[in-house]
Structure 1
Amino acid sequence: MSDDSNDDGENIGASPARISTPELRLEAWRALTWTVVVGLVVLSVYLAQSLLVIFGALVFASMVDGGARLLGRALNIGRSWRIAIVLFTSVAFLAWLSFFAGTQISREAAEFPRIVQEQTTALFEWLRAQGFQIDVQNVQGMASQAISGFGTVTRALGGILGGFTTLLLIVIIGIYLVIEPRLYERGVAWMLPKPRRHEFYETISRMAFTMRRLMFGRLVGMVFEGVFTYVMLLGYGIVTGDPIPMAALLAILTGLLAFVPNIGAVVSGVLMVLVGFSGGAQMGFYTIFVYFAVQNIDGYIVIPMIARKTVDLAPALVLSMQLIMGILFGILGLFLADPMLAMLKVALEQRAKAKDAEDAAQAENPEATPA
């Protein structure tokens, strides 16, 4: 009787929702964990647009921070002044590009679609003459359908804010991040358990270092490809007296598209060759030579020198990430695919390093409780 009364007393004091069986409690915790994981995945899908803009701001902040650090080697001034110089220089360059070179480039840009369309039609006609069954209308329809289906999320974002507003948000958030980076690092670390905060600071420091080097290498490649392309295209006109049309526009496009590895080089090369053949076979073959010269020098000299100091990414992995991000988020995702992949690799490497350190410490002291 006394045992029954004690059990009744315990049951009376216990919560009705309490699961007394340990096996059932374990299964309930597993179900709750999976529910939370699925909920976080669904939430990240809905917040993907905003998260991508925030990541773009991180990339922009790393570029500004890298420029400020480079200035710090030459100028013994405060960090805020160095950041202001980097931002002012960037704005000044964009203003020069818009006002001084804008007239010529805008005039060339107006003729650019027409030349590309004419040369594409001529290419299809030549292929049909060689026996290939190609319908120009079907190709144009597939191209327009692919463009219309490329980047659904980006179109949704553009419909609300617009591309310019998205870029403005990236710049504004990036400026706030680069001014007080430690503030936001501490805010994220505060949400983590104390044993994991040291690992977080080490990982975020490694990520920032890799991002700065990656963006510096990307900017060097962009400047090299743009300037070298312009010099080569301009030199043809000086030597032959028959200038290549739209040399400045092609050089700017080549430099900008160099920010996107693999895909950017192919797109810029196709556009350059199409414009080149509009001036004849000799000019067209010269643009092919320029394209291969630029890509080989950049691929075998410039990129390897930079890659030794940054994260090394497999080309197939980069291309796969670009395709996935491009389909999901359009041009913005395509531009940010490479930096995001680099950050994921650094995070996984740091986590594996920390896990190896924990295993080594546990092996040396088996009685110690792991953190």
Structure 2
Amino acid sequence: MADPGGLTERAFVRRVLIVLGLVALFLLAWQLRTLILMIFGAVVVATIFRSFADRIAQLTGCRPGIAIATSIVLILGLVLGLIALFGSHVAQQVHALRETLPAAWKIIEARLGDLGLGEQIKNFVQSIRAPGGSSFSAFGRTVLSIGSGIADVLVVLVAGIFLATQPRFYLIGAIKLVPPGKRELAGEAISESERALRLWLRGQLISMTVVGLLTGIGLWALGMPSAFTLGLLAGILEFIPFLGPVLSMVPAVLLALAVSPDLALWVLLLYFAVQQFEGYLLTPLVQQYAVDLPGVVLLFSLIAFGALFGTLGIILAAPLTVVMYVLVKRLYVIETLHTPTPIPGETKG
């Protein structure tokens, strides 16, 4: 039986089932969004291991299996070694920060109260803490929760090791989910995404190291307490574009305000100078062989992924943007619109 438009009952039912299947798939993906982000985090970890393994293989000429095993051992050994060397020192400074920051905030509230701003500050803090606050307040609570989820980090790390040791096995499995006529294109898109992600991670590692060192040394020179931990925090949060430097600056400024307004001003100037150096000198140098993403794209992706996926979305916003930027260019702009466009990292080693 056919309708006036020529659509048979069987074809209509088939289309309805396809639509329902797509809706069910979307709902399932939404319920599993945290798991999906963790899988992507494992891919990022595996990319780091693979990058070091490739460099080790180039320098030593050893087999890929030995290179990846060496890479994993070296990276994990380096992390554990740093924890062993500086772990107790960092723990002491973190403990000092936990005890000092509440007292510093009380001093700041008292000083603002002398200026007649105490009530406004209290209202602002209550609006952030309110469970039914605005979307901006919810986003602020999400940002302030960064640092939790150690168990998730361990799962991502272990999964990343599995992916790094058998990348071809998982790659072939993923490509088999694509229709046969598009598998070659899917493989090319995945390879281009991996190359761009490697370059971005390389540049980001350089930026994080330089920013952390400059911040820690500068705070130490200013006589700030917990300068090493604050510098380490600045380096780690540099992984998050735009928001990371602001988050790393807040505890330093609060501690400085508890000492004196003059010290707080010098701390602000230090963070401003480091960010200017990073933005106008370090980043252009790094991007000569890394991936240059439009700042507006990074900014709105940070807000979007934070609102959709919470803390994990904020942490992984930049690498997610790198991969999506490549896929959109490769699969949509080039393949669908037939418009030539450069792929990030395609001519960079």
Give the alignment's TM-score, normalised by structure 2. Answer: 0.84
CA contact (8 A) 1:257 1:268 kept: yes
Following the alignment from structure 2 to structure 1, what is the Cα–Cα distance between the partners of residues 251 and 3? 70
Matched, 1:354 2:335: yes
Match of 1:166 in 2: 152
Following the alignment from structure 1 to structure 2, what is the Cα–Cα distance between the partners of residues 175 and 87? 7
CA contact (8 A) 1:260 1:335 kept: yes
* TM superposition shift of 1:260: 0.7
Aligned CA distance change for structure 1 residues 115 and 57 (closer, same or farther; 3 Å): same
Worse overlay, 20-29 or 211-220:
20-29
1:50 is aligned, of 25, 31, 35, to: 35
Deviations 1:345-370 (A, max 9, x none): 111100121224599xxxxxxxxxxx
CA contact (8 A) 1:217 1:306 kept: yes
Matched, 1:192 2:191: no
Match of 1:201 in 2: 187
Q: SS at 1:100's partner residue?
A: helix
CA contact (8 A) 2:72 2:161 kept: no
Match of 2:303 in 1: 323
Match of 2:108 in 1: 123
Following the alignment from structure 2 to structure 1, what is the Cα–Cα distance between the partners of residues 287 and 57? 23
Aligned length: 330
Match of 1:13 in 2: none
* TM superposition shift of 1:333: 1.8
Matched, 1:177 2:163: yes
Letter in 1 for 2:336: K
Deviations 1:18-53 (A, max 9, x none): 769832355444433322221111110122121111
Letter in 2 for 1:355: T
* TM superposition shift of 1:278: 3.3
Larger radius of gyration: 1
Letter in 1 for 2:43: L
1:280 is aligned, of 260, 263, 269, to: 260
Following the alignment from structure 2 to structure 1, what is the Cα–Cα distance between the partners of residues 138 and 100? 20
Following the alignment from structure 2 to structure 1, what is the Cα–Cα distance between the partners of residues 126 and 83? 34
Deviations 1:167-224 (A, max 9, x none): 1221121111111211111112222222201111110010000111111111111111
Aligned CA distance change for structure 1 residues 53 and 210 (closer, same or farther; 3 Å): same
Following the alignment from structure 1 to structure 2, what is the Cα–Cα distance between the partners of residues 197 and 246? 53
Identity of aligned residues (%): 24
Letter in 2 for 1:210: A
Match of 2:245 in 1: 265
Matched, 1:72 2:57: yes
Give the alignment's TM-score, normalised by structure 1. Answer: 0.79
Letter in 2 for 1:354: E
Aligned CA distance change for structure 1 residues 91 and 188 (closer, same or farther; 3 Å): closer
Letter in 1 for 2:335: A
* TM superposition shift of 1:55: 0.7
Match of 2:344 in 1: none
* TM superposition shift of 1:320: 2.8
Match of 1:256 in 2: 236
Following the alignment from structure 2 to structure 1, what is the Cα–Cα distance between the partners of residues 116 and 219? 34
Following the alignment from structure 1 to structure 2, what is the Cα–Cα distance between the partners of residues 266 and 313? 20
Aligned CA distance change for structure 1 residues 137 and 344 (closer, same or farther; 3 Å): same
Structure 2, unaligned runs of 5 or more? 131-136, 341-349
* TM superposition shift of 1:150: 4.1
CA contact (8 A) 1:325 1:334 kept: yes
Match of 1:303 in 2: 283
Following the alignment from structure 2 to structure 1, what is the Cα–Cα distance between the partners of residues 301 and 22? 23
* TM superposition shift of 1:234: 2.6
Aligned CA distance change for structure 1 residues 258 and 358 (closer, same or farther; 3 Å): closer
Following the alignment from structure 2 to structure 1, what is the Cα–Cα distance between the partners of residues 87 and 165? 32
CA contact (8 A) 2:47 2:198 kept: yes
Following the alignment from structure 2 to structure 1, what is the Cα–Cα distance between the partners of residues 24 and 138? 32
